[in-house]
Structure 1
Amino acid sequence: MRITLKQLLVFQAISQTQQVSKAARQLHLSVPAVSMSLKELESSLGARLFERTPHGLVMTDSGNLVLAHANKVLNQVNQLEQLFKEQAQGVGGTLNIGANKTSGNYVLSKKLPLFKTQYPNVNTRLKILSSSAIEEMVHNNALDLAFISRKPSDKEMEYIRWRSDRLCIVVSPGHKLAHRPATAADLSAATWILDEEESATRVESLHILRELGVTVQDEIVMNTMGAIKRAVGTGLGLSILPLLSVDAELERGDLVEVATDGHRESRYIYAIYKRDNLTPLMERFLDCCEVPRA
């Protein structure tokens, strides 16, 4: 037994119009073609689906049973067609996004709700890891696009400079270094609250401290920026964090940037994706994030 979508569509149209001729006009088919499809369906099922009456065709009990299943199948087919149509237009489907901690927690977390409001039929997934791990996932096609704190090392990657950032030394408003420039001796004597081992922020932070002539003698290691900011806010110590992760706290006055004589070097967040893999859906997300493109 083989039932086709055409047979179910014809059956549904006849059930709605109660006439073969009206169903044929609705489907833009000939009357013989509609009659043949109905006969084939009844033959496959071994049951009559309609009875002829003076007022038109009336469904039998078997017809009513078939109609419930036919409506369900045809609705699922319509949903599948709509899904792929939306995906081709960039307004549906699934988008797998990667990010380092700074861009994921403090920038994309604000962009994703906006994107979801604009495109409610898109299923978005955000993965937050180190820049190197995220780049590898893009390379392996586990992610569609990503945002990392350096240019990609993979030559197959396209990259676009997105947001400027820099590392800054922060303390609580009540800390003595919140009100005067800090010397290398001040910073060497301080308690430092730094990011977890081997993170990119930690590596850059230690490099900056060495350039400032600072020797870290008292250190506390934490694995999230949120925990570090809370600890700094209580006056436990100093930290070096990306400006994008503390700009709200600096604006509110919950944290204060420490003034030093060192050079405040800028760095950037880059949007990356594999060359020739850019889809309409990815383009819409990049536009939502205001990523500049030629």
Structure 2
Amino acid sequence: MRITLKQLAVLKAICEHGQISKAAKHLHQSVPAVSMSLKELESSLEAKLFVRSASGVVLNESGQVALTYANTILGQVSELKQRFQDQATGEGGTLNIGANKTCGNYVISKQLPYFKRYNPAINTRLKIGTSSTIEQMVVDNELDLAFISARPTSIGIESQPWLSDRLCVVASPEHKLAKRTASIEDLSAATWVLDEEEAASRIEALHLLKELGVTVQDEMVMNTMGAIKRAVGTGLGLSVLPLLAVDAELERGDLREVIAPGAGSEKRSIYLIYKSERLTPLAQRFIEHCGIELAK
């Protein structure tokens, strides 16, 4: 038994118009073609679907059952076509976005609710990980686009600087070094609250401290920036964190930036990364939402 969408559409049209000739006109088909489609459908179902009336044809009991299925199937097909049309034009679909911890937790997670408000038909999925992990996921086509804190090294990945960021030394407002300029000796004697061993943020923090001439002698290790900020806020010690991750705390006065020679002067960028062949209208819509104008 082979039932086609064309046959189901014919069934629905005949039911709606009550006459085969009117259904044919509505479908832009000939009367013989519509009659043939109906005959093939009845043959496949091994049942008559209409009975003749004074004004044309009406559904019988078998026809009512068939029409229920036809409406469901044709409706689902219409939804499927609309979904892919929306995705092709950027009006709907699912967008897979990646970001490193700083950008994901403190920038993209704030952008997504606003994007959803103005694009309710678009579903978004945000994956947060290390910059290297996120870059590899773009390479493997697991993500449509991503934001990381280093220029990508993989072949075939396009990149563009987006936001400017910098590392800063932070402390509790009550910490003694938040109230005066810190010397290299002060920083070397301090307790440091840093990210876990393999984290890029830890590597960057230690690199900055080394550049400043600071020797870390006492440290605590935590695996989330939230935990680090809370620990620093208690006055336990100092930390080196991206400005994007602490700008809200600095503005509220929950944390203070420690003034030290050479600290906080080096800028770095958050990069948008993507594959040109995967830059769909849907991805472009989010990029535009972020205020990014792609280089031509």
Query: Number of aligned pairs?
Result: 294
Find the counterpart in structure 1 of residue 60 from structure 2.
60
Find the counterpart in structure 2 of residue 274 from structure 1.
275
Q: Does 1:191 align with 2:157?
A: no
Q: Does 1:94 align with 2:94?
A: yes
Deviation at 1:156, TM superposition (A): 1.4
What are the superposed Cα offsets for residues 202-250 of structure 1, whole Å, 9 maximum, x if unpaired?
Answer: 1111111112221111101000001111111111111110000000111
Map residues 1-294 of structure 1 onto 2, 5 A cutoff. 1-263=1-263, 264-294=265-295
SS of the residue aligned with 1:123?
A: strand
- 2: CA distance, partners of 1:267 / 1:67: 63
Deviation at 1:288, TM superposition (A): 0.9
- 1: CA distance, partners of 2:43 / 2:210: 85
- 1: CA distance, partners of 2:51 / 2:278: 56
- 1: CA distance, partners of 2:292 / 2:244: 16
What are the superposed Cα offsets for residues 157-216 of structure 1, whole Å, 9 maximum, x if unpaired?
Answer: 110000000000111111111111111111111111001112111111111111222111
Deviation at 1:93, TM superposition (A): 2.1
Deviation at 1:123, TM superposition (A): 2.2
What are the superposed Cα offsets for residues 241-289 of structure 1, whole Å, 9 maximum, x if unpaired?
Answer: 0000000111111111000111510001000012333211111111111
| CA contact 1:100–1:128 (8 Å) conserved in 2 | yes
| CA contact 1:42–1:48 (8 Å) conserved in 2 | yes
**AA paired with 2:71?**
N
Unmatched 5+ stretches in structure 2: none
**AA paired with 2:235?**
G
- 1: CA distance, partners of 2:126 / 2:290: 14
- 2: CA distance, partners of 1:34 / 1:213: 86
- 1: CA distance, partners of 2:277 / 2:11: 45
SS of the residue aligned with 2:135?
A: helix
Report the identity percentage: 65
Moved more, 14-23 or 130-139: 14-23
- 2: CA distance, partners of 1:61 / 1:178: 83
| CA contact 1:162–1:292 (8 Å) conserved in 2 | no
Deviation at 1:22, TM superposition (A): 1.8
Q: Could you state the TM-score of these two structures normalised by the residue count of structure 2? A: 0.96
- 2: CA distance, partners of 1:208 / 1:38: 77
**AA paired with 2:13?**
A
| CA contact 1:160–1:292 (8 Å) conserved in 2 | no
| CA contact 1:94–1:123 (8 Å) conserved in 2 | yes
**AA paired with 2:226?**
G
- 2: CA distance, partners of 1:24 / 1:68: 21
| CA contact 1:102–1:245 (8 Å) conserved in 2 | yes
Q: Could you state the TM-score of these two structures normalised by the residue count of structure 1? A: 0.97
- 1: CA distance, partners of 2:74 / 2:117: 29
- 2: CA distance, partners of 1:71 / 1:276: 37
- 1: CA distance, partners of 2:281 / 2:191: 49
